[in-house]
Amino acid sequence: MRAAALQLLIAAILALAAGSLLAGPVWLSPASVAGALADPQPNLAKLLIVEVRLPRLVLALMVGAILGLAGAVLQGLLRNPLAEPGLLGASSGASLGAVIAIYYGFAASAGLATPVFALAGALVAVGIAFALSRTGGTLSLILAGVAVSTLASAGVSLALNLAPNPFAAYEIVTWLMGSLADRSWDHVTLAAPFIAIGAALLALTARGLDALTLGERQAESLGVDVARLRLLALVGTAAGVGAATAVTGAVGFVGLIAPHLARPLVGHRPGAALAPSALIGAALVLAADVAVKIAGPALDLKLGVLIAVVGAPFFLWLVLRVRQVAP
Amino acid sequence: MTRLSLADVTLRRGGRFVLESVDAVFEAGRLTAVIGPNGAGKSTLLEVAAGLLRPDAGEVLLGGEPIRAIAPRRLASIRAYLPQSPRAEWPVSVERLVALGLSPQLPAFGSLPARWQPAIDGALARFDLLALRERSATRLSGGELARAMLARAVVAEPRLLIVDEPSAGLDPRHAHEAARQLRALADGGCTVVVALHDLDLAARIADEVVALKDGRLLAAGPARDVLTGPILTALYDMPVKVEEEARDVSIRFGD
């Protein structure tokens, strides 16, 4: 990867991180942040930064990075530029878990019930996808993932359809839009271990993904255990993306877009694209969250909606371009 | 030693025999051509010989060791395998594509160590790819890609090289050149196994020939003994004449 591009990317993330700490319903100046943090006495600005804005910033970075990483791994594994983390059922499984928590009222009685149920939903969905595709190859994994995703989405629709009152339906829809608002350190501590484990598993696929550039047969001849690679990608995605979706709701497109922006930086090597894709994913989610904050609470723009609105045209452009480039 | 031997290898697919009690021996330093009509089981035999496909019965020994007992990574550092018409799935540069042949030798993380650069440059030079090294692999012509894949296969100096149809898509000059490179590898002590449709090429470069028909071994032995009119006529179910002029052999199909 070109050093200049890496530096630019890190500089962008730092600038966005600073913006994320300053922006909000109450705008802070860099001087007041420094003053508040240096002040040994508890004060409102310090509380706001440490308890509200910092966890939100950390979550944005974590979630964006794991979405970008998982997207790059899945696109490399499936050798398909249209693959994204939701393909294997992790996102829709998480959504169904969250919806169950909201629908049955667990969410109202325990604050973290929604993310815990969502995480369980993601793991169960990917577990089913894996069980269905255990003996088959990559294609059967995709088919099983799509089947499980569809089933989970049907469950979500059913819950909306049968919602006991409009408020439950509203809550479900709001959760599905994806947001980083009102998240605390509890959300960070819930998601962080799973995201860290997921990222570690996904990072282990790098060399194998490079070899897959030559196709599965040649990769196997180069000593790559393709079945193990699939398992790493699957479990890594389930843990990482499941946890990310659990704490933020459904955030689409990042996992699809980030790898496309990362690949040209590394000569299109799928293994080398993992780290830049994670950085770009983090930058994208953080940028979207800063934009949401700048739009303000009055507009109450949801993170997932903003990313989808910007991401969908990109997706369209991608489809057109792939059609041109494909032989 | 990298003597490769297949003993009584049988493989079924959907109840049909793809290979039926095939015995074959590939000696170190010899180039063996596997010939036969379409669907004879050549590619399957090569995959079994490469240790990528487990036969239903029979044994594959590499240097006296059962090939399935060799760890994939160690096997990969000894043996290179190139399937028929390989494709590049991402637009990586030709140089990077060739470097993928070094995968078994690389650590799990990190970039390519500089000490491998001479091997990559050598492989690029041997297959006339120096001018194309920065070109993206998905923008190569069929023949250029075939050469890049051959360079990828030989970059790690394998002791056993198994190639399925290396001359497909190559122009006469590069087919000749690729054949010369495979011959040179065998002369350097490598065990080379090549599936070929071009029998003139087989006659020119092969020490041994294995002829397969309908999954069974029809004939095997020194090239001169197998590439004969009667055997080839039986192999392809059509009249074949083999003419020898000085050291050149030409094979003609039809009456």
Whether B210 is covered by a domain: the verdict is yes
Is residue A313 within 8 A of residue A252, CB to CB? The reply is: no
The answer to whether the beta carbons of residues B226 and B211 sit under 8 Å apart is yes
pLDDT digits (tens, 9 = 90+) for A221-262: 999 999 899 999 989 999 999 999 988 988 888 999 999 989
Other beta carbons within 10 angstroms of residue B68's beta carbon come to 13
CA pair distance B165, B33, nearest whole angstrom: 10
- The answer to whether the CB atoms of B89 and A214 lie below 8 A apart is yes
Q: Is the pLDDT of residue A76 over 70?
A: yes
| pLDDT for the residue B99 | 94
Q: Which of A220, A222, A265, A324 to substitute to test the interface with B, most B CBs within 10 Å? A: A222
φ, ψ for residue B58 (rounded to 5)?
100, 175
Domain that holds residue B230: 4-90+159-253
pLDDT given for residue A102 in this prediction: 83
- Please tell me the predicted confidence (pLDDT) of residue B216: 93
d(C-alpha A34, C-alpha B186), whole Å: 71
3-state helix, strand, coil in chain B (%, to 5): 40, 30, 35
How many domains in chain B? Answer: 1
Q: What is the mean pLDDT of residues A280-292?
A: 93
- The torsion region of residue A296 among left (phi > 0), alpha (psi -120 to 50) and beta comes to left
DSSP string, B108-133: SSS---GGGHHHHHHHHHHTT-GGGT
CATH superfamily of this structure's domain A3-325: ABC transporter involved in vitamin B12 uptake, BtuC (1.10.3470.10)
Interchain proximity B90–A79, CB inside 8 Å: yes
In a domain, B144, yes or no: no
In chain B, % of residues over pLDDT 90: 65
Quick one: which of B247, B236, B252, B254 has its CA closest to B205?
B247
User: Does pLDDT of A108 surpass 80?
Assistant: no
A180-208 burial code (b ≥16 CB/10 A, e <16): beebeeebbebbbebbeebbebbbbbbbb
Contacts of A212 in chain B (CB under 8 A): 89
CB contact under 8 A, B73 and A212: no
Residues 6+ apart with CB under 8 A from A59: A180, A183, A187, A188, A191, A247, A248
- The first and second tokens of residue A230, run together, are 């699939």
Is the pLDDT at B255 greater than 80? The verdict is no
Q: What per-residue confidence (pLDDT) applies to B100?
A: 93
Helical spans, DSSP H, in chain B? 42-49, 72-78, 94-99, 117-126, 142-154, 172-187, 199-205, 223-226, 229-236
Q: Please give the distance of CA B27 from its chain centroid, rounded to a whole number.
A: 14
Q: Chain A contacts of B93, Cβ < 8 Å? A: 267
Which residue in A203, A211, A272 is closest to B100 by CB distance? A211
Q: Which structure tokens are listed for A163?
A: 């919602």
* Residue A184 DSSP code: -
- Domain residue extents for chain A: 3-325
Q: Give the number of other Cβ atoms within 10 Å of residue A312's Cβ.
A: 12
Q: Name the token pair of B102.
A: 């070094």
Judge whether B150 lies within some domain: no
The reported pLDDT for the residue numbered B167 is 84
Average pLDDT over residues B176-199: 91
pLDDT above 90: residue B168: no
For B12-63, write each residue's pLDDT tens digit.
988 889 999 999 999 999 999 999 999 899 999 999 999 999 999 999 999 8
Q: A220–B72: do the CB atoms touch at under 8 Å?
A: yes
Q: What share of chain A is helix, strand, coil (3-state, %, to 5)?
A: 80, 0, 20
Pairing of strands B216-222, B191-195: unpaired
Pairwise CA distance, residues A28 & A17, whole Å = 13
Length of chain A counted residue by residue: 327
Q: What is the pLDDT of residue A206?
A: 93
Q: Does any CB of chain A come closer than 8 Å to the CB of residue B169?
A: no
In a domain, B136, yes or no: no
In this complex, the residue of B52, B72, B106 whose CB is nearest that of residue A217 is B52
Interchain CB distance below 8 Å, A269 and B81: no
Average pLDDT estimate for B165-192: 89
Between CA A145 and CA A130 the distance in angstroms is 8
For residue A255, give the nearest of A188, A304, A185 by alpha carbon.
A304
Bridge pairing between strands B160-164 and B57-62: unpaired
User: Which tens digit of pLDDT belongs to each residue from A35-54?
Assistant: 888 888 888 888 888 888 99
Establish how many alpha carbons lie within 13 A of residue A239's alpha carbon, considering only the half-sphere containing its beta carbon. Answer: 16
Closest residue in chain A to residue B134, using alpha carbons only? A267
Name chain A contacts of B47, Cβ cutoff 8 Å.
217
Phi/psi of residue B77, each to 5°?
-80, -15
Q: Give the DSSP letter of residue B150.
A: H
The candidate with the shortest Cα–Cα distance to B160, out of B53, B31, B35, is B31
d(CA B156, CA A186): 51
Question: Which residues touch B70 (CB under 8 Å, ≥6 apart)?
Answer: B51, B62, B78
Backbone CA torsion sign across B64, B66, B67, B71: negative
**Which of A223, A225, A269 is the closest to B92 by Cβ?**
A269
Contact A226, A219 (CB under 8 A): yes
What pLDDT does residue A327 have? 42
8 Å CB contact between A55 and A187: yes
Rounded Cα gap, residues B255 and B252, in angstroms: 8
| CATH number of domain containing B244 | 3.40.50.300
Which residue, among B90, B134, B161, B163, would best test binding to A if mutated, counting the most A CBs under 10 Å from its CB?
A: B90
| Subunit contact B83:A218, Cβ cutoff 8 A | yes
Specify the pTM.
0.90
Mean pLDDT value of segment A301-326 = 79
Alpha-carbon span A129 to A125, nearest angstrom:
6
B134 reaches A (C-beta below 8 A): no
Q: Is the per-residue pLDDT at A129 higher than 50?
A: yes
pLDDT for A164? 78
User: CA A17, CA B194: separation in Å to the nearest integer?
Assistant: 58
The pLDDT score that the predictor gives to residue B153 is 94
Pairing of strands B79-82, B240-245: unpaired
Residue A46 and residue A53 in contact, taking contact as beta carbons nearer than 8 Å = no
Residues of A with a Cβ under 8 Å from any B Cβ are 79, 203-204, 206-207, 210-215, 217-218, 220-225, 263, 267-270, 272, 327
| CA–CA gap between residue A146 and residue A132 (Å, rounded) | 11
